[in-house]
Amino acid sequence: MRREPIELAAVATAAVPGLSPTAVSSAPDDPADFDSALLLDAEGKRWRVRSPRHAEASTRLETEFLVLRAFAPGIRAELPFLMPTVAGTVRQQNLTTFVYSHLHGATRTVEELTAGPQELAKEIGTALAAIHDLPRALVSNADLPSYTPNEFRQRRLNELDMAATTGKIPALLLRRWEHAMEDVSLWRFNPCVVHGDLHEDNLLVEDNRVTAVTGWTDLRIGDPADDLAWLVASNEHDFVDAVVKHYTAKRRDAPDTHLLRRAALSAEFALAQYLVKGIAAADADMIAEAEGMLSTLADDIAEYGGQPISVEPLPPAKPDTPPTGQAPAVPGLADAPAAPDMSEAMPAVHVTPIPVDAKPLPVEVTPIPVEVTPIPADAEDTGGNAHRPSDQDTPQSALKENAREDEAAQDAGESDTAEAAGTNDAAQGDAPAPKSPDADTTTVALTVVEAKTT
């Protein structure tokens, strides 16, 4: 349920003792997650109220509270901008509303920012470099997420699979994003501290200076390109190039060759993430808005090609699957002519049946005479030993006997082989089968301060 600014003012008085708002107005924020308002008190001091709309958004605000506490005064002093300070909190049921002290400056639209002078581009680039050069221990000590390049790429692929299951992502975009996410050369970057939710509503600007950065709910170690996605999505290339130029000059790390490619991918893929978020929340308006933006993006890319996101060129799209029974077409080859019907071209085959009682044709067989000379059983050789015939005068029965002995020997060999094989199989059967491979955010107890009644 959405809270009106006047209601948020009443909640703020419970969070900050002595606060007496005299004026209130709505403040820009993520309407799917937060209700926000700006307050003016009797002393002319301003305050900002952020109230979560659901439990996940409340957890993000509590995480931000821990993040802001991790920024010691020494770290804050080195930043070229100010950061929020929590003035008070109040918990209602399972949601926690936060009140922040006022920061000078005002938010501007993307169009207003990109239409600004080079001085503003330098300010934005300097602010980005300062965030990405923060000590990594700041994130690890707060037990916040940390990703290597490959872990981050795999996380994106998992999110793409989830988005594809909705059936609402145009095929052109799925193919384009998958190719970029599988292009390993695109994901060679040095992880650093990333704001994680940087966009125009979290930048406060005054006189072309970035005075403050807010919205520290998604701080992590990851891809620095994520913090430029909102800017790249503006398609104001001259302004973006100026920001990146000053950003690269201020960074202590080596230049990132494919920074803008990954930023463009992140900007496009944010639409799919928005769709999944809308489906999870069963928000019909979010779903319809996301589908419309995805369709527009797909049409623009189909017509103009879109911004380059892959290092390796995207291969040509495969033709649509042919109807069942039809072989897929091969590019560059003409369709082969259909095979002619040979049933009429070949002469008919006539079969003449043979009568059952037909007599067989006479066949003349000429017998071959064979002369056999018997050998006396008591014949002896000249040495007095029994005569052993050679192969030439061995009778047929002896040849058969020799054949039987050979077969027996062969059978014995095969039996030994089979026995050895069986032993080997048994040994293999005893071998074990190979095994198949396969933020908790601590919240701080918050005290509820009862509103004063007059």
Total count of residues recorded for the chain: 454
Q: How far apart are CA 428 and CA 410, in angstroms?
A: 27
On the question of pLDDT at 420 being above 60, the answer is no
Residue 65: per-residue pLDDT: 92
Q: What is the pLDDT of residues 302-331, one digit of tens each?
A: 999 888 898 887 777 665 543 333 334 433
Q: Over the stretch 242-293, which tens digit does the pLDDT of each residue have?
A: 999 999 999 999 899 999 999 999 999 999 999 999 999 899 999 999 999 9
For residue 357, the model assigns a pLDDT of 52
Interval 368-384 mean pLDDT: 48
Residue 435 has pLDDT above 70, yes or no: no
Instruction: For residues 179-204, give the mean pLDDT.
Output: 94
Say yes or no to pLDDT of 399 above 60. Answer: no
- Provide the pLDDT for residue 412: 46
Of the listed ranges 144-148, 187-191, 383-387, 404-408, the least confidently predicted one is 383-387
Residue 453 pLDDT exceeds 90:
no
Give the H or E element holding residue 86. strand 86-92
Q: What is the pTM of this model?
A: 0.67
Q: What's the pLDDT score for residue 3?
A: 82
User: pLDDT for 163-191, tens place per residue?
Assistant: 999 999 999 999 999 999 999 999 999 99
User: What is the average per-residue pLDDT within 208-232?
Assistant: 95
Residue 44: per-residue pLDDT: 86
The mean pLDDT value for 28-39 works out to 86
- pLDDT of 142: 85
Q: Which of 20-34, 121-135, 418-432 has the lowest mean pLDDT?
A: 418-432
More confidently predicted of 385 and 64: 64
pLDDT at 305: 86
Task: For residue 31, name the pLDDT band (cuts at 50, 70, 90).
Answer: confident
Question: CA nearest 235: which of 289, 306, 294, 290?
Answer: 306
Q: Which residues touch 263 (CB under 8 Å, ≥6 apart)?
A: 225, 226, 228, 229, 231, 232
Mean pLDDT of 222-251: 95
- Residue 363 pLDDT > 50, yes or no? no
Is pLDDT of 71 > 80? yes
Label residue 18 by pLDDT band (50, 70, 90). Answer: confident
How much is the pLDDT for 315?
75
DSSP 8-state code for residue 204: E
Between residues 137 and 366, the one the model is more confident about: 137
Calculate mean pLDDT across residues 384-412. 44
Whole-number Å distance between alpha carbons of 29 and 12: 17
Average pLDDT, the chain: 78
- At 360, the pLDDT band (50, 70, 90 cuts) reads very low
Give mean pLDDT, residues 227-238: 94
Contacts of 292 (CB under 8 A, 6+ apart): none
More confident residue, 347 or 98: 98
From 102-106, 235-239, 417-421, the region with the lowest mean pLDDT: 417-421
Percent of the chain with pLDDT over 90: 52
Dist CA 434 CA 438 (whole Å): 12
Query: Six-digit token pair at 56?
Result: 């996940």
Rounded Cα distance between 266 and 156, Å, is 9
272 phi and psi, to 5 degrees? -65, -40
**Percent of the chain topping pLDDT 70:** 69
User: How many Å apart are CA 239 and CA 242, to the nearest integer?
Assistant: 5
Tell me if residue 106 falls in helix, strand or coil: strand
Does pLDDT of 27 surpass 70? yes
Check pLDDT > 80 for residue 91: yes
37 contact partners, CB below 8 Å, separation of at least 6? 5, 8, 9, 12, 24, 25, 26, 27, 48, 49
Q: What is the mean pLDDT of residues 32-41?
A: 89
pLDDT of residue 374: 57
Burial environment of residue 335 by CB neighbours within 10 A (0 to 12, 13 to 18, 19 or more) = exposed
